[in-house]
């Protein structure tokens, strides 16, 4: 049986973390509430859980990372999630970001390219009672079978905007994707106003692990 404890200490640390990311500029109250609600230490090995409430990315095995809480909050805020939105997340990783989207009321479809992580995270979130739609494969091409999506979130750094993802966005939909080189990427938000009119906005720089696959780094 999965036995996880969310102590007063953890809750207090979470409150402090929310203060930190608020200070860094996150204003969306629903996003802040979701970060305050979800125990991030559940996503860490118990030996390392003292690091869970630092505003830092952390290794989760297979050379991958759980994103920094500020980054999760930043991307989630840009997505402007409404309850019931059908969201595609590329890069399931630890499942933390997917769980935040779920808490905001989204129907989350999440795809992971690393089989070991896919198996581990699917099992873990299901045990937590967080039911996402899990897929194993190359998310750089999106998920044509399930399209269109109201929102698409890429949680790995892409060399260019994957065109399949733009195609799989509904009209009015939003794609958030970090684009750049292998070291740093600019956060982009693309809003699909009509089938042919896309508005692109640029935000600050981040450092993600690379998006691999057909429309990522090969």
Contact residues toward ligand SAM (CB under 6 A) are: 64-67, 90-91, 93-94, 96-97, 111-114, 117, 138-140, 155-156, 208-209, 211-213, 216
Nearer to ligand SAM, 70 or 113 (CB): 113
- Shortest gap between Cβ of 149 and ligand SAM (angstroms)? 15
Using CA atoms, how far residue 207 sits from 4, 89, 106, 168, 183, in Å, is: 31, 18, 26, 25, 6
Q: Please, which residues have CB within 8 angstroms of residue 20's CB and are 6 or more apart in sequence?
A: 55, 69, 70
Question: Which residues participate in catalysis according to the annotation?
Answer: 67
**Tokens for 149?**
């999506």
Q: Please, which residues have CB within 8 angstroms of residue 89's CB and are 6 or more apart in sequence?
A: 97, 98, 101, 108, 109, 110, 111, 152, 153, 155
Nearer to ligand SAM, 138 or 197 (CB): 138
User: Which of the 8 DSSP states describes residue 182?
Assistant: S
Nearer to ligand SAM, 8 or 88 (CB): 88
Nearer to ligand SAM, 13 or 94 (CB): 94
Nearer to ligand SAM, 13 or 140 (CB): 140
- Shortest gap between Cβ of 16 and ligand SAM (angstroms)? 20
Alpha helices (runs of H) in the chain, residue ranges in sequence order: 8-23, 29-37, 69-79, 96-103, 115-128, 163-167
- Shortest gap between Cβ of 197 and ligand SAM (angstroms)? 27
139, 215 contact by CB (below 8 A):
no
- Shortest gap between Cβ of 194 and ligand SAM (angstroms)? 28
The owner of tokens 């939105």 is 85
Assess whether the previous peptide bond of 148 is cis (omega < 30° from 0). Answer: yes
Sign of CA dihedral 125, 130, 133, 138: negative
């Amino acid at each position: 049986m999965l036995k996880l404890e969310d102590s007063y200490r953890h809750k207090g640390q979470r409150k402090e973390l929310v203060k930190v990311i608020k200070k860094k500029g996150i204003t969306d109250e629903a996003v802040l509430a979701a970060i305050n609600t979800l125990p991030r230490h559940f996503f860490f090995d118990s030996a390392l859980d003292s690091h869970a409430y630092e505003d830092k990315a952390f290794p989760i095995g297979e050379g991958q990372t759980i994103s920094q809480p500020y980054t999760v909050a930043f991307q989630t805020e840009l997505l402007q999630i409404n309850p019931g939105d059908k969201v595609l997340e590329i890069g399931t990783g630890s499942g933390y970001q997917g769980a935040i989207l779920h808490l905001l009321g989204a129907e989350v479809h999440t795809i992971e390219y690393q089989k070991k992580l896919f198996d581990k995270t699917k099992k873990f979130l299901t045990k937590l009672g967080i039911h996402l739609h899990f897929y194993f494969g190359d998310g750089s091409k999106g998920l044509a079978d399930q399209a269109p999506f109201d929102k698409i979130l890429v949680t790995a750094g892409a060399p260019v905007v994957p065109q399949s993802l733009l195609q799989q966005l509904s009209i009015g939909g939003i794609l958030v994707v970090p684009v750049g080189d292998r070291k740093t990427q600019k956060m982009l938000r693309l809003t699909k106003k009509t089938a042919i009119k896309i508005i692109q906005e640029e935000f600050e720089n981040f450092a993600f692990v690379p998006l691999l696959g057909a429309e990522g780094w090969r």
